[in-house]
Structure 1
Amino acid sequence: MSKRYVDEDSDEKPQRSKPQQNQNIDSAVQQAVSQITQSFGQIDKSMKLIEQQFMSMKKQSSGDQVLKTKAQIESTLNTLRQTQLPQANQQIQQLQKKISALQAPPKTKQELTQNQQKFMSMYQQKQQQVTNLNNQFSKISQKIDDQMTSNPEDAAKNFKMQCIEEEIDAELDDIIKINRDVNDMNQMMKIMATEVQKCGETINIIEEKVDEADKHVTKGTKNLVQTRKIQKSKNKWLWIGLALTAAVAVILILVFTL
């Protein structure tokens, strides 16, 4: 295999790979965090809506109203389980991939990975909370159906909420506790979002320093090549001067000896 040599007189500088710019990837990481935060916010709204729907059901005496509210709760739970939770999980997985693809110092990537793991822990907590809500609702829903089936005419006009009121109270207590936990998690998410932004700023600063160093190296290489050119030019004229001096000396010697 033939080797390739670079002529010192040429303007060609040694090839050096420029560090990859991470600003787009950095923005992608922050965007992913923002999407996860928004998804968690939607999940929180759905949980608070279920709390309101249970409180509304507790005050209702008409069977038709109870069935309507029950259908609303069921719809909200389905949205949580089938749409909102899977979407949040997918976004957390995407965040992990974007962090892995990020060109950053190991410490920065480690911090981002830890934040991603916290997001996953929050997701699992929310998933468990929704599962508990769904299980409790299934019990309440079954009691409502039993009462409507056993005495439909009476239930339609004077629904006996007392038989399920205890379950609803217990469910409301659980929801209130869940919402308290949700508020705590939201505070953690704000802190993590700030940490991600700081990591992004650190990455950009590092890139600027690397780019600046790259420019200095490139400039130094050009100066070195130029210096070598000047030195060669000086050496060339020095040899020419010495040759002319020697020639004149020879001529003078010949003239005076003849």
Structure 2
Amino acid sequence: MDGHPYCQQLRSLTPFAFCNMQLMMDKYTFAALALGLATISAAVLGDMNYWYNMQPYYDIENINTYPAVLDSDGAKRSWQDTILVGHATIREVNPAREKGQQLMDAGRVYFEDGTGLDTSKAMAFRNLDRYCVAPIVFGQEPLASYDFWAVGVNCCSGTTADFRCGEFNNPKARSGLRLMREDQRPFFRLAVQQAEAAYNIKANHPLFFYWMQDPVAEVLKYRSDGFKLLDVVLLVPDDEHPNPRLCDDTAVAGG
């Protein structure tokens, strides 16, 4: 029976059938693995992009900007500095007079001319990273409560008067962009508590800001970086699929 020509032909075709089936399985396996990897990568990159770029942008855009524009009747002129622009009044924030409770919904803050950083009261709290803080003050007079703080991560040595965060050396910088990272806020609060103890000061309701000249540009950069990362992910060309493992010549030949 084994010597029948049909059986011999079937035996000679078996390696080809096995090879084709193996190639097909290799393709499907590769496709499944590639799809799984792409799905996981998309989820991770999407979450990171939203967490670091888009969420801060949306959070800042959804809360207030100070100074606020007031009606021309002068209502709510409880701020120290007012500037008339057309039919509206612009008020700038003075850290010597305003309290943290008054600006709890602040996202972007433009401080009055004469506001700066008091790096002599800088402090850092270390938990793997260094969480650096320095009070935002007006002039040289001590404040009853230091409620406005410039912050940064790993931009100080932890020693007194060392603060190199944000635009600390820009003389035109007198604006703050609110810290929106909930995971970092407790560490900055601990740094402020250390500063209170070290310098015998009070911070009744500290608010944390990145010190800069143009917070609007920084907020737009959040959005721009988010879309850039999305474009990079979408426009990266797919690498050529690796060739499936070829069957051994001896198997193909039926030997």
Q: TM-score range by the shorter chain?
A: 0.3 to 0.5
Structure possessing the higher radius of gyration over alpha carbons: 1
Higher relative contact order (Cα pairs below 8 Å, separated by 6+ residues): 1
Larger strand percent: 2
Larger helix percent: 1
Per the normalisation by structure 1, the TM-score is 0.33
